[in-house]
Amino acid sequence: MQATLTSKGQITLPIKIRRKLGLKAGDTLEFDETVPFIKARKPFDKEAMRKAIGRGKSRKPARTSSEWLDVLRGPVEQP
């Protein structure tokens, strides 16, 4: 896949790339200057991550696989 650099240093990202990254007008990209090639990515949304952290803390304690089998299939009678 190719894109041509304009005299102003701009490129148009191909639609396949925009769709894959979920990019829309006004979105920003971060560039990694430490590598010898161009590497662009969507910035990590720290605020969205903060909202997700701790959501599972109010849930009941985790069940073992045997407990899940009992819940889903019912208890098994041992001979």
pLDDT of residue 77: 75
In this prediction the pTM is 0.44
Q: What is the CA radius of gyration of the chain?
A: 24
- At 2, list the tokens: 């190719």
Q: Tell how far CA 64 is from the center of its chain.
A: 28
Spans of the chain, pLDDT less than 50: none
pLDDT of residue 6: 92
User: 34's torsion region: left (phi>0), alpha (psi -120 to 50) or beta?
Assistant: alpha
pLDDT of residue 59: 65
